[in-house]
Amino acid sequence: MEQRNPFRTSFTEPFITGCDNLSSLYNRLCKIESAVILFCRQGNARVTVDLHEYDIVPYTVIFLLPSHIIDIISAGKDFQMAYFACSEAMFREASFRFNPRFFHFIKENPCKVFPSLHWEAVEGLMNATATIYADFNNRFRYEIAKNLLQIWLMDLYDKTYRWFTVQDMEGHNRQEELLKHFISLIHSYCNSEREAGFYANMLCISTKYLTDICTAITGKSAKKLIDEFVLLEIKVLLQNTEFPIQEISNRLNFPDQSYLGRYFKRQMGISPSAYREKFIK
C-alpha cells in the first residue's frame, strides 16, 4: 500500500529534481522528510500544506520543510510542478547559518507567487538544479547542488525580509507571538503530547489564557488545533504505510490501539481501519 514519494532521497541519492504533475500526491497526504522546493511551471492546482489551503498558479514557489504535510486536492490537466528535494543532511549543511526565525516564518507561510520581475531568476535556479542532477559523473555534484540550495535560501531570505515586516514574521502583538510559538511547539511535540496544558507550561502561561488566545485569533480552541495536527499525523500513517494500528498507536504515544481508535473515530466519525480501506487499491 505504501505509495511512491517523489521527494524521497537516500544515502546514495541525497538530492532529486524532476518535473511532472505529481499525480501520486492527489488526495493523498505526503509527509516531507527533509526539504523540497516546488515551482509551478504551468496549470493550476489547489493544495493543502498542513492545515492551510493554497491556490497554486504559474510561478508559485512552495518551500516545504521537514514534517510539512502536503496534499493536492485538485489540479488542472496541464498542471506541472518542477521540484528540487534534498536530504536532511544537505539541508542542514546549507541552512545552518540562517536565522531560525526565517524558517519558522516559512513553516507557516510556505507558498509565494513570485512577481514577473523575478521569474527569470527562479527559472534559472530550477534549471541549474536539474542540470547538475543529470550530471552524474561530476565529481563536485553534491557540492554544486548544496551551493544551489544555499542560493535558493539566500534569495528567499532576501525576498522574505523585503516583502514582509518584522511584525508579519513575529506577530503584531504578544498574543500573535504566543500563537506562532504554540503552533511551532505543536509541530515539534504533537506526536507525543496532546494536552493543551503541556504547551501552556512551555509557554509559561495558563491553559485558559492559551485557549483564549487561540479562540480569539483562529476561532478554534488550543485543544482543537492540537487534535487537527495529531489527526494529520495519524492519516499520513494510515494512508502511506502498512503499519498495524497498534504500531501507529505506539508511534504516536497512545495508551493502546483501542484508545487511538476511539480518539480517531470521535474526530472523524470513522474507525482507523475503515479510513485506511479507502486508500487501498
Structural domain range at position 192: 174-277
Is residue 73 scored above 80 in pLDDT?
yes
Q: Return the CATH number at 95.
A: 2.60.120.280
What is the structure's pLDDT at 2? 52
Q: Is residue 250 part of a domain?
A: yes
pLDDT tens-digit readout, 93-152 = 999 888 888 888 888 889 998 888 788 888 999 999 999 999 999 999 999 999 999 999
- 78/24 same-domain check: yes
Provide the domain count of the chain: 2
Q: Tell which of 133, 167, 201 closes a domain.
A: 167
Residue 162 DSSP symbol: H
Q: Is residue 221 part of a domain?
A: yes
- 216/159 same-domain check: no
- 112/152 same-domain check: yes
Cα separation of the two ends of the chain? 7
User: Cα(134)–Cα(260) distance, rounded to whole angstroms?
Assistant: 45
| pTM, full prediction | 0.84
Q: Is residue 64 part of a domain?
A: yes
Q: Return the CATH number at 266.
A: 1.10.10.60
- 155/210 same-domain check: no
Residue 80 Cα distances to 46, 61, 69, 187, angstroms: 13, 12, 19, 29
- 254/160 same-domain check: no
Q: Is residue 3 part of a domain?
A: no
Q: Tell which of 128, 149, 167 closes a domain.
A: 167
- 188/137 same-domain check: no
- 279 or 175: whose pLDDT is higher? 175
Is residue 84 scored above 70 in pLDDT?
yes
What is the structure's pLDDT at 76? 94
Nearest to residue 123, comparing CAs of 41, 48, 46? 41
pLDDT tens-digit readout, 8-58 = 898 899 999 999 999 988 988 999 988 999 999 999 999 999 989 999 999
Nearest to residue 47, comparing CAs of 30, 72, 67, 22? 72
- 76/116 same-domain check: yes
Q: Tell which of 152, 167, 182 closes a domain.
A: 167
Is residue 170 scored above 70 in pLDDT?
no
- 20/139 same-domain check: yes
Q: Is residue 63 part of a domain?
A: yes
Identify whether the C-beta of residue 28 lies closer than 8 Å to the C-beta of residue 279. yes
Q: Is residue 7 part of a domain?
A: no
Q: Is residue 70 part of a domain?
A: yes
- 23/161 same-domain check: yes
User: Cα(157)–Cα(100) distance, rounded to whole angstroms?
Assistant: 11
- 51/118 same-domain check: yes
Is residue 188 scored above 80 in pLDDT?
yes
- 208/127 same-domain check: no
Is residue 1 scored above 80 in pLDDT?
no
Q: Is residue 1 part of a domain?
A: no
- 67/162 same-domain check: yes
